[in-house]
Amino acid sequence: MEPTSRDEKQMIEAQPTEDTPTGWFNLGCSLATKGQLAEAERSLTNALNMKKYFPIGWAILSAVLLSQGRETDAEKAGKRALDQCADLKMTWPKLRSIMFSHGIQKGKDWKSPRRVRFEISENSQWGVILSKLSKSSDESLEEIGSIVEIDDTNATESEIETAEEIGSIVEEKDTTVTESKIETVKEIDYSKKIHGIRGHDFQSIDGRSAEFWFSNARVHMTAHDFDKAEEAFMKGLAIDPENGEALLRVGTILMKRRAYEEAEDALRLATNHLPENPETWLQLGTCLQARDRWKESAEVLKIATEKDPKNAEAWVKLGEADYYRSMYQDAARSFLRALRILPNHEYALFYLGRCMEYRGNETHALRVYRKLLNLEPKNPEILEEISKSFHRLGQTGEANRAKSLAAHHRHSSSGT
């Protein structure tokens, strides 16, 4: 169906004032308060693709997804917000309950969409949560409030249809926000170790506090200036060497540069200071995989899954660690765990199909590959590999379809 002129106008208007994480986030907030949930989701996803460490962004995206009845997606985004905000001492069920009762409001009638509310007041649970998330994200609630329409209409959880009721009448589409490929950053001559910086007395340079440097670093990360972000984090760590969050961020920056040895140093320190944070274990396990240390990676990732058993990415990574050690039965169990959480996780489906194929279970392998093909993944490598698998299993038509999709996506990505 061709869009109406009104639809075209909304699509044109749904652009940020600046192509930055904050620009897309502000636009997403504005759209969410107006009930334009699909556009809000798109804008918030753009912001989060540009800035992974963005607690308030993940929380608002979670509320938007929850408003649409997307429980699985909302839970994943909500947990990312909780993991990234140390000040929020609550579980996902508690955050979900507050979102339903205070953060999401029902439309004025059955035709009106739900909207996500913003409460600047520190006297409400939702307002306190937004305040803490905002501080963690270096965003100003006052600035956010100035660009969104605040509606004081109260809504209770009983007034809002539950996700289970919605799911019973519509087909759920799994469009979970997943980790994108690590952004390419310019190669630099990196030589210093994480522990080498502590010999420098940065505090004596200007008397700044560690938090000053950490805040500076987060600003630079938002701008994708990883050189300056790392420098600021390291100056802060020279003053507060046991700050686990800063060590974790330094580790992720180093992984972006493929400086895996230094990244491992930072991430091991992060696990020492944040032993209960599942993200530190997940990132360390990912780093070890990049160094082909699959057995050590599996040991670390088991801890990540124990800390957060509902994190699909941790289960997928654990499955990969077993897969590349030819432990296909154990790997399959991990991929199945991931798929119970995110039924359409493309990598989990791909590797599960491979496990079934290598164990001689061709019937189940075909079922998995067909489900994956029907999702029409955009990753040409996955499509090319399942095309080969379909050929091996005698399914020429599906093999050709997968190969055609792979060629299409390669052609599109090349811009030709």
Are the beta carbons of 282 and 313 closer than 8 angstroms? yes
Name the token pair of 125: 């649970």
Per-residue confidence band for 295, with pLDDT thresholds at 50, 70 and 90:
very high
Q: Which of 4-8, 76-80, 100-104, 263-267 ranks highest by mean pLDDT?
A: 263-267
pLDDT at residue 196 greater than cutoff 60:
no
pLDDT at residue 161 greater than cutoff 70:
no
| Mean pLDDT of the residues in the chain | 76
The architecture in CATH of the region 206-307 reads: Alpha Horseshoe (1.25)
CA distance 241 to 237: 4
Name the region of 180 (left: φ>0; alpha: ψ -120 to 50; beta: rest): beta
| pLDDT value of position 244 | 85
Per-residue confidence band for 177, with pLDDT thresholds at 50, 70 and 90:
very low
> Taking residues 17-25, what's their average pLDDT?
80
Helix, strand, coil percent content, the chain, rounded in steps of 5 = 65, 0, 35
Are the beta carbons of 341 and 310 closer than 8 angstroms? yes
| pLDDT value of position 242 | 81
**Count of Cβ atoms closer than 10 Å to residue 287 Cβ:** 25
> Taking residues 277-291, what's their average pLDDT?
95
Name the token pair of 313: 């990415």
pLDDT in tens, 205-257: 455 687 887 887 788 777 777 888 788 888 888 888 888 888 898 898 899 88
Lowest-confidence range among 183-187, 212-216, 269-273?
183-187
Per-residue confidence band for 368, with pLDDT thresholds at 50, 70 and 90:
very high
CA distance 61 to 21: 13
pLDDT in tens, 297-356: 999 999 999 999 999 999 999 999 999 988 988 999 999 999 999 999 999 999 999 999
Q: Which one is the CATH code of 16-152: 1.10.3720.10, 3.40.50.2000, 3.20.20.70, 1.25.40.10?
A: 1.25.40.10
The architecture in CATH of the region 309-416 reads: Alpha Horseshoe (1.25)
DSSP-derived 3-state class of residue 104: strand
| pLDDT value of position 292 | 92
Token pair 């124990």 is found at 306
The DSSP code sequence of 377-409 is: -S-HHHHHHHHHHHHHTT-HHHHHHHHHHHHHH
Name the token pair of 372: 């994956």
List every span in the chain annotated with CATH 1.25.40.10.
16-152, 206-307, 309-416
pLDDT in tens, 72-125: 888 999 888 887 776 777 888 888 888 888 878 776 666 667 878 766 556 678
| pLDDT value of position 239 | 82
Are the beta carbons of 338 and 323 closer than 8 angstroms? no
| pLDDT value of position 123 | 65
Per-residue confidence band for 296, with pLDDT thresholds at 50, 70 and 90:
very high
Pairing of strands 115-116, 104-105: antiparallel
How distant is the alpha carbon of residue 398 from its chain centre? 31
Helix (H), strand (E) at residue 68: none
pLDDT in tens, 371-404: 999 999 889 999 999 999 999 999 999 999 999 9
| pLDDT value of position 136 | 59
| pLDDT value of position 56 | 85
| pLDDT value of position 336 | 93
| pLDDT value of position 284 | 96
CA distance 251 to 309: 23
pLDDT in tens, 132-152: 777 655 543 433 333 333 333
Q: How far is CA 336 from CA 302, 311, 325, in A?
A: 15, 13, 18
DSSP-derived 3-state class of residue 275: coil
pLDDT at residue 173 greater than cutoff 50:
no
Are the beta carbons of 202 and 239 closer than 8 angstroms? yes
| pLDDT value of position 176 | 38
